[in-house]
Amino acid sequence: MSGSKWRDQDIEELLKKMPPIKNTQSPTEMYTRIQRASASNAKRTQRILPIAAGIAAIFLLAILIPSFLINNESVNISSSDDAGEIETVEHSDGGNEESKLFGSEGNESEGNSADSQATDTEEENSGKIEEGASQNITSQDGEVDRKSEPQNESKQDHPKMEPASRQIALNEEQGTSLYPSELEGNAYFSAAFITPEQDIIPMTFILPEENTGQSMVDLYNEWAGTIDETSLGFIDYHPFNDGIEETEDIITGWVNDSDQYKDASADIMAEFLRQTFGNDGYREFQLLNRDGSKALNGEEEAIQLANDRKGYFLYENEGNSFFVESLKSYGSLNEALKMMQTSKPNERFSYALPPELELTAVENENELTITSDGTINQYSDSEQQQIIEAILLTAKSFSYQTVQFQNEPSETGGFDLSKPVEVPIGPNQATIE
Alpha carbon distances (Å) from 373 to 1, 19, 64, 136, 215: 135, 141, 80, 23, 42
Which of 79-93, 254-268, 352-366 shows the lowest per-residue confidence on average (mean pLDDT)? 79-93
Q: Which pLDDT value is given to residue 100?
A: 36
Q: Give tens-digit pLDDT for 163-208.
A: 333 345 555 444 489 999 898 899 999 999 998 889 999 999 999 9
CB atoms within 10 A of CB 154: 15
Radius of gyration of the chain (CA): 42
Among 81-95, 170-184, 202-216, 356-370, whose mean pLDDT is lowest? 81-95
39-43, 83-87, 409-413: which range is least confident on average?
83-87
What is the average per-residue pLDDT within 390-419?
A: 95
> How many beta carbons lie within 10 A of that of residue 359, not counting itself?
21
- Above pLDDT 90, what percent of the chain? 39
Inter-axis angle of helices 381-397 and 333-342, nearest 10: 140
Taking only the tens place, the pLDDT of each residue in 238-248 is 998 788 999 99
Per-residue model confidence (pLDDT) at position 170: 52
| Residue 322, domain extent | 99-129+137-432
The pLDDT value recorded for residue 244 is: 93
Q: Is the peptide bond before 202 cis (omega within 30 degrees of 0)?
A: no
**What's the structural domain count of the chain?**
1
Residue 248 inside a domain? The answer is yes
133 has a pLDDT exceeding 60: no
Q: What would the mean pLDDT of 402-413 be, rounded to a whole number?
A: 93
- Quote the pLDDT of residue 311: 97
SS3 assignment, position 408: coil
- Phi and psi at 364, nearest 5°, equal -130, 95
For 119-130, the pLDDT digits (tens) are: 444 444 443 333
Tell me the residue ranges of DSSP E strands in 143-243.
143-146, 168-170, 186-194, 200-210
User: Does residue 403 sit within a domain?
Assistant: yes
DSSP of 187-212: EEEEEEEE-TTS-EEEEEEEEEEE--
Q: Is residue 252 part of a domain?
A: yes
For residue 154, the model assigns a pLDDT of 36
* Mean pLDDT of all residues belonging to the chain: 74
Q: Are 39 and 32 in contact (CB under 8 A)?
A: no
- pLDDT value for 112: 43
> Up-side HSE of residue 356: CA atoms within 13 Å toward CB?
5
Low-confidence winner among 140-154, 246-260, 403-417 (lowest mean pLDDT): 140-154
Contact 352, 314 (CB under 8 A): yes
Query: % helix / strand / coil in the chain, to the nearest 5?
Result: 40, 20, 40
Q: How far is Cα 17 from Cα 19, in angstroms, rounded to an integer?
A: 7
In a domain, 110, yes or no: yes
Residue of higher predicted confidence among 37 and 164: 37
Q: What is the pLDDT of residue 117?
A: 45
Residues 6+ apart with CB under 8 A from 296: 258, 261, 262, 266, 269, 287
Q: Is residue 332 part of a domain?
A: yes
Give every CB contact of residue 117 below 8 A, 6+ residues apart in sequence. 233
Region 356-361 average pLDDT:
96
Residue 203 lies in a domain: yes
This prediction has a pTM of 0.61
pLDDT at 212 over 80: yes
77 part of a folded domain: no
